[in-house]
Structures are given as structure tokens and as C-alpha cells.
């Protein structure tokens, strides 16, 4: 171990208590959940609307947690040095997975014991599709039924969260224990975990996106969906990292630790994944438009036009994604000054999180159709409950992060790369 790492061990105290902030986060989370539950009894909403909105909120925060898990493993597999001081905050945030599993559980139980097609129509073979025939007699469903069935869905839910929690526990234990004994063996263990964890993460996040979101309209075909979901996972995680870094710096914890080069490096990754999201999203749209196959084009058609040919609200949401999810962040993140100025990079991070939420709404909420077969408008009850759901689930996630925050040192003080990270330069 280097003398610099040993010096860091004695110079950096344990992270201060975050109990007041944790209490606030828990109150916000419980308040958001309670407010969402009110929608069950509001005329014009009801269980189906609230359940679909709850899916948006839970999936949004689960995606961010998956992104943090993947970035921690990518950090280890590349033996990165610059991100060591940032990695610890991601490790704390991984504590949210067990609570996300619990918050997703009502959707599973409601589908099993309340109404099988409450959210996912393919769960009920008698569910009537547009045109009069049922799911059970739908040739496209029969071709996909080996994957899209209730046992596979429930088993997937258990396996996905179990895998994410197990990988998180291994990474957290090794990192936290290294603070105490300084053994470089823990770094090697995390590298091994990342080596098999990245493929596990890639497969599980792809299947989760297919089961939870894409199968809402199971007729649709897309080979890019898992990659699209990963792009949002990574972008959301990076934005969360920026917000936490700036918060800790303003609180005084990260003064003398965080420098402009750390912000510049994470800003570069935000720019890279902005371009990556645009590439994946454009590729999906272009391939579907070029092939012009009805089983693929309908998904975009319902997000542009009503049955009578009039433009619906989702067309404008699509334009918001083109400009707000790509063009504006892309132009902003090209600037060195924007990336290293704390208020600006934080504002960019909050903006990107907002459009990720809109992107998820764009993928989920149009699955709910009215009697004419038109998607519910963007500005309607499902959006309201999606916002309250995101607030509720987000409050619980922040509470989990803040509960974990004082259980380990502020940064990995005895990581072999800690000195390189503290002196990181471009």
C-alpha cells in the first residue's frame, strides 16, 4: 500500500450523519406513495391507471439503480482510478435494490390475485384485443408464449432482483471491508465479480425491460430495446452521481476531494451516453421506418396519430425527446465550462433525469387506450400518478442511500488507486 493511501486513511474521517436528510427523504417517499394510492379512488383513474403509473415510477428508479450497478462493475473491470472517490456514493445507492423489489411486488401481486390483465394484457388468455379475437387465439402471442407467461414473469422478477442484490452485496462488502484491512485482495475480488457480473447485468436488464415495458404491447418487435434501456440506465446513474457529488461538496464533505477534473470526466461520460442514446433510438426508429412492417410500425403510429388521422399529444412528446433528450444536452455538454461549473452540470443532470422520465412515460403510458383505440393523452391522470409514483419511490431510494451513507468512509480510503483519484487530472 502506498504512503499516500495510508495518509488518506488517517486524514479523511468517517462520513458525518445524514439522519436529518434521511428522515426527510423517508417522509417524502411515504407521502408520494400515499398520494399515489389516492388515485385508486379518484373518478377517472382507478386501479388500472394507477398500476400503469406505478410501473413508470418503479421502473424509473430501478433503471437508475441498475445503471449505478453497471457503472461500478465497469469501474472495476477497467481498473479505473479517476472514479474511485465517486464510486462510494454509487455503492451506497445500491442499498435501494431490496426496497425497489418490495415496491415492485404490488404489481406482481395485483396481476396474480386481483386482475391478471390489469397491466400486461398477455397475462389473460381471454383478454379481448382490438378486432374481437382474444390473446389466447392470437398467433403472435402463441409464438411468444414460451417467454411471455406468468411463471416466467414471476420467476424473472425474483431472479432479476436477486441477481442485482447479490452483485451489489458482493461489491459493497468488498469495498467497505477494504477500508478496514486495506487488503488489495478485495480489489481483485471486485474485478472478478465485475467480470461475470456485467454479462449477468446485461441479460437481466434486457429481460426486465422486455417483461415490464416492451410486453405492454407485445405485438411489437424491436431488437434494440435492451440497449435503449441500458442507455437510459447509464445516463440516469451518471446524473445521480453528479447530483450527489455537488450536494456533498456543498455540504463540505467533498471539499479537498472533488475537483473540476472529476466533474469534467463524468461530464464526458454524460456526453458519450447522450450520443449513445441518440444512436440507439434513431437506429430503432430508422430500421422500423425503413422496413415498414405493420407489426413494428404500429408502435410509432399510435404515438403520432389518432385513429381519425389527427395528431395526438404523443407526437409532441416525441419531439421533446428528440430535442430535450439529445440536442440540448448534447450542445450543453460540449462545453468544458458547463461540465466543470457545479450549478450548470447539476442543472444539466436534473434536466436529463426529467427527460428520462418522459421517455419512460412515452414507452409505457400509450399502452392504455380509450374506446376508439387511441392512446390516453400525455396530459391526463396517468401522468399525474406517474409523477407522484416517481416521487414516492425516489424518496424511498434516497432514504436507502442516506441510511447506508454513514456506515462506511466517505471515500474508499485504502483502495490501491485512491491517490491517483484524489490527484486526478485531465
pLDDT single digits (tens) 389-424: 999 999 999 999 999 999 999 999 999 999 999 999
**Weakest mean pLDDT among 16-25, 115-124, 317-326, 332-341:** 16-25
C-alpha to C-alpha distance for 152 and 150, rounded to whole angstroms? 5
Please tell me the chain's helix, strand, coil percentages from 3-state DSSP, rounded to the nearest 5: 75, 0, 25
The pLDDT of residue 16 is: 55
Question: Model's pTM, two decimal places?
Answer: 0.94
Rounded Cα–Cα distance for residues 89 and 178 (Å): 16
Confidence of residue 20 (pLDDT cuts 50, 70, 90): confident
Name the band, by pLDDT with cuts 50, 70 and 90, for residue 19: confident
Q: Which burial class, exposed, middle or buried, applies to 279 when counting CB atoms under 10 A from its CB (0-12, 13-18, 19+)?
A: middle
- 87 pLDDT above the threshold of 80: yes
Q: Is residue 183 predicted with pLDDT exceeding 70?
A: yes
The CA distance from 185 to 304, in Å, is 55
Residue for cell digits 466533474?
A: 263
Q: Grid coordinates standing for 411?
A: 471515500
Would you state the pLDDT for residue 133?
A: 86
Residue 343 pLDDT > 70, yes or no? yes
pLDDT band at 17 (very low <50, low <70, confident <90, very high): low
Instruction: Provide the pLDDT for residue 372.
Output: 85
- Helix (H/G/I), strand (E/B), else coil: 5: helix
> Taking 80 as the threshold, does the pLDDT of residue 346 lie above it?
yes
pLDDT range class, residue 18, cuts 50, 70, 90: confident
Contact 386, 213 (CB under 8 A): no
Give the pLDDT of residue 371. Answer: 83
Phi, psi of 52 (to 5 degrees): -65, -40
Instruction: Reply yes or no on whether the pLDDT at 6 is more than 50.
Output: no
The distance of Cα 240 from the centroid of its chain, to the nearest Å, equals 10
Residue 130's pLDDT band, with cuts at 50, 70 and 90, is confident
The SS3 call for residue 303 is: coil
> Which pLDDT score is estimated for 155?
98
Average pLDDT in the 247-251 region?
94
Span 275-334, pLDDT tens digits: 999 999 999 999 999 999 988 999 999 999 999 999 999 999 999 999 999 999 999 999
Lowest mean pLDDT: which of 9-18, 85-94, 234-243, 304-313? Answer: 9-18
Q: Cβ distance 164 to 98 under 8 Å?
A: no
pLDDT score at 13: 47
Q: Is the confidence at residue 9, as pLDDT, over 50?
A: no
* Side-chain-side CA neighbours of residue 200 (13 Å): 19
Give the whole-number percent of the chain exceeding pLDDT 70: 96
Picking from 425, 4, 426, 369, the residue whose alpha carbon sits closest to that of residue 216 is: 369
d(CA 101, CA 114): 19
Mean pLDDT over residues 159-167, rounded?
Answer: 98
pLDDT the model gives residue 5:
43
State residue 118's pLDDT score: 96
User: Could you tell me the pLDDT band of residue 426, with boundaries at 50, 70 and 90?
Assistant: low
Q: Residue 129: which pLDDT band, with cuts at 50, 70 and 90?
A: confident
Helices (H) and strands (E) in the chain, counts: 17, 0
Residue 3: pLDDT above 50?
no
Amino acid at each position: 500500500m502506498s504512503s499516500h493511501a495510508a495518509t488518506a486513511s488517517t486524514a479523511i474521517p468517517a462520513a458525518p450523519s445524514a439522519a436529518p436528510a434521511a428522515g426527510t427523504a423517508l417522509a417524502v417517499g411515504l407521502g408520494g406513495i400515499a398520494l399515489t394510492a389516492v388515485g385508486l379512488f379518484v373518478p377517472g383513474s382507478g386501479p388500472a391507471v394507477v398500476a400503469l403509473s406505478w410501473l413508470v415510477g418503479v421502473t424509473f428508479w430501478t433503471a437508475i439503480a441498475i445503471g449505478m450497478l453497471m457503472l461500478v462493475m465497469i469501474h472495476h473491470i477497467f481498473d479505473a482510478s479517476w472514479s474511485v472517490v465517486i464510486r462510494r456514493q454509487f455503492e451506497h445507492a445500491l442499498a435501494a435494490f431490496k426496497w425497489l423489489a418490495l415496491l415492485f411486488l404490488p404489481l406482481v401481486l395485483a396481476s396474480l390475485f386481483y386482475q391478471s390483465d390489469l397491466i400486461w394484457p398477455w397475462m389473460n388468455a381471454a383478454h379481448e384485443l382490438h378486432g374481437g379475437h382474444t390473446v389466447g387465439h392470437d398467433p403472435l402471442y402463441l409464438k411468444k408464449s414460451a417467454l411471455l407467461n406468468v411463471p416466467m414473469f414471476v420467476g424473472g422478477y425474483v431472479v432479476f432482483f436477486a441477481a442485482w442484490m447479490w452483485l451489489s452485496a458482493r461489491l459493497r462488502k468488498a469495498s467497505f471491508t477494504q477500508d478496514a484491512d486495506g487488503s488489495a485482495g478485495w480489489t481483485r475480488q471486485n474485478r472478478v465479480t465485475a467480470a461475470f457480473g456485467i454479462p449477468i447485468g446485461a441479460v437481466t436488464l434486457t429481460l426486465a425491460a422486455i417483461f415490464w415495458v416492451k410486453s405492454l404491447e407485445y405485438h411489437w418487435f424491436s431488437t434494440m430495446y435492451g440497449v435503449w434501456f441500458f442507455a437510459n440506465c447509464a445516463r440516469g446513474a451518471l446524473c445521480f452521481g453528479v447530483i450527489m457529488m455537488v450536494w456533498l461538496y456543498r455540504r463540505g464533505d467533498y471539499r479537498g476531494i472533488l475537483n473540476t477534473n472529476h466533474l469534467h470526466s463524468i461530464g464526458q461520460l454524460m456526453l458519450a451516453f447522450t450520443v449513445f442514446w441518440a444512436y440507439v433510438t434513431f437506429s430503432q426508429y430508422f430500421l422500423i421506418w425503413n422496413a415498414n412492417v405493420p407489426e413494428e410500425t404500429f408502435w410509432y403510429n399510435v404515438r403520432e396519430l389518432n385513429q381519425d388521422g389527427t395528431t395526438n399529444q404523443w407526437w409532441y412528446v416525441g419531439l421533446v425527446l428528440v430535442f430535450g433528450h439529445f440536442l440540448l444536452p448534447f450542445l450543453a455538454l460540449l462545453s468544458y465550462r458547463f461540465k466543470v461549473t457545479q450549478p450548470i452540470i447539476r442543472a444539466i443532470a436534473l434536466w436529463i433525469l426529467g427527460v428520462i422520465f418522459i421517455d419512460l412515460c412515452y414507452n409505457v403510458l400509450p399502452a392504455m387506450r380509450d374506446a376508439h383505440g387511441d392512446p390516453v393523452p400525455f396530459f391526463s391522470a396517468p401522468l399525474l400518478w406517474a409523477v407522484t409514483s416517481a416521487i414516492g419511490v425516489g424518496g424511498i431510494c434516497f432514504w436507502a442511500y442516506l441510511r447506508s451513507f454513514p456506515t462506511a468512509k466517505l471515500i474508499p480510503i485504502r483502495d490501491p488507486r485512491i491517490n491517483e483519484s484524489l490527484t486526478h487530472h485531465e
